[in-house]
Amino acid sequence: MRHDFYTYHHSIRVATYAVAIALEMGLKEEDSLNELALGAIFHDIGKKYLPISLLHKTGQLNEEEWAQIRSHPELGRDSTKNLAFGHVPSEIIIHHHEKLDGSGYPHGLENEAIMTEVQIVTLADVFDALTSVRSYQKKRTNFGALDFIKQKLLGEKIAREPFKALISSLADKEK
């Protein structure tokens, strides 16, 4: 929180969305939900090793800056490897920027090689980023973010089942 107030709050929101998505997908075991939440809360922990000026840059990033940004999953994994996080949180930290089509980073994983829990956090991360005020983009409404994901990312980069669960979790449950 002291390094980057935005990333701290973003991580809490991502964890909240991720647990809501998992519950909608039928994940009910408390230990599994705790591991998912832990991984989501710490998914961006590697950003604490990046300059705050880079994290809040308003203009376009150059290649060197992109390389620094793309290093944060590995920095996060390295900084937590001696903690008793377990497999799922560690996978979330290192792979939350992987995409179904292999275009993500740091390992270019595809489809089933990306754990379901990672896919859930990836979607929660994208959704929160789209619905938040950021230095380089305007905040979208929930509907605008869901529409963007559906039109530009769904199926190729983002998994369908978590997306449907996100929609369901956001829907008004009152009758």
Helices 116-130 and 87-95, packing angle to 10 deg: 50
For the question of residue 157 being annotated catalytic, the response is no
Catalytic residue among 28, 47, 99, 138: 47
Tokens 């990672």 belong to which residue?
A: 118
As a whole number of angstroms, the distance between CA 13 and CA 125 comes to 9
Q: Is 4 exposed, middle or buried (0-12, 13-18, 19+ CB in 10 A)?
A: middle
Q: Catalytic residues, which ones?
A: 47
